[in-house]
Amino acid sequence: MERRQTRQRQLILNAVHTLKHPTADEVYAAVADAQPPVGRATVYRNLNLLAEQGEIRRIETGEADRYDGRTQPHYHLYCRCCGRVFDAHMPVIEGLERALTETDGFAVEGHTIEFIGLCPDCKNKNGGC
């Protein structure tokens, strides 16, 4: 089902692209002062809709979900200390899905890889986290 692109939805989409891997609360903070105001429920509903439509990606971190405006295949780095998510600057592993289909018979439709560790800021803090 196609939905019309509302001004509020466009503000939310712009915030996801501008903020780089924001949480829903960070998106809400970015768009709350718009005219007319955008409510928290509207932000959550539109983030879910945009993710379902493939316009953004939802990144499940085990804490608050984060959202990514970059929808082409790529991997992420997750800082276990501050909770931020970063794009990994490496190529996507070609043929991974096909190899799993051939070896395991599983009809792989896609994959995500998330690397977990400490970001440079947290790594350089005295004592880490």
CA distances to 7, 11, 23, 25 from 35, in Å: 10, 11, 22, 18
The pLDDT > 70 percentage for the chain reads 95
CA distance 83 to 102: 36
Structure-model confidence comparison of residues 82 and 128, the more confident one: 82
CA–CA separation, 68 and 21 (whole Å): 5
pLDDT for res 33 = 84
Kindly tell me the sign of the dihedral angle through the C-alpha atoms of 33, 37, 41, 46: negative
- 46-64 per-position pLDDT tens digit: 999 999 999 999 999 888 8
Dist CA 119 CA 92 (whole Å) = 21
Q: How far apart are CA 88 and CA 62, in angstroms?
A: 19
- Tally of CB atoms within 10 A around 114: 14
Residue 65 has pLDDT above 90, yes or no: yes
Does the pLDDT of residue 128 top 90, yes or no?
A: no
pLDDT at 87: 96
Using the predicted structure, report yes or no on whether residue 77 has a pLDDT greater than 70: yes
Position 68 scores a pLDDT of 97
